[in-house]
Amino acid sequence: MLLDASESQLVLVDYQARLMPALHEGPLVLANALRLARLADLLKVPTLGTEQNPDRLGQNPPELRGLCRKTLAKMHFSAVPEGLADWLRPAARASQGNARSLPKHLQKPAAAAPERASIVLAGCEAHVCLLQTALELLEQEFEVWVVTDACSSRTERNRDAAFDRLAGAGAELLTTEMVAFEWLRSAEHPAFKEVQALIK
């Protein structure tokens, strides 16, 4: 199964000013997150960000925030209890009734299926906020694709344990370049040269 740009949304988790210096390969991970956000922008993939307790840990870098449609401030480690899944789903349509349908107060609103159910997820720390967000998105029946070279923790052991657990739970693991070339699919894509420049 390949990743499809038209079915994808990108979520960038907690690349915050006070957190990044403590993380394993922090500058490389942040560079890949920016690369992902620029790829998404070029290929019209919606991008959202999250920030864990931004009053204490600071915001995501301005260049990353600027590439996100919205940024969710959160206190839970998972972004799902704070409303991320609602942001990822389109608004439910009001049911259209007729004279024979149930009265409105007895009708159940139809839950909207996500139009873009493939969630490309990257962030920090991999074994805490990223892991918990990914597991809860899987429970909500999203497809979760974790970009491993754009994720980090303070230690490699914690990061790698998160990847093992995510793979076991059904998340797909991939890299920034895998995302880029799967979103493109062909060297004939109109954005190929711009994407190629971003990943070189």
Give 74-125 pLDDT, tens digit per residue.
Answer: 999 999 999 999 999 975 544 555 445 555 555 555 554 557 899 999 999 9
- Asked if residue 68 is part of any domain, the answer here is yes
- Is residue 95 situated within a structural domain? no
When computed from its CA atoms, the radius of gyration of the chain, rounded to whole angstroms, is 18
Does residue 100 lie in a domain region?
no
Residue 110 lies in a domain: no
AA letter at 184: L
pLDDT tens-digit series, residues 150-175: 999 999 999 999 999 999 999 999 99
CATH, residue 37: 3.40.50.850
What is the pTM for the complete model shown? Answer: 0.88
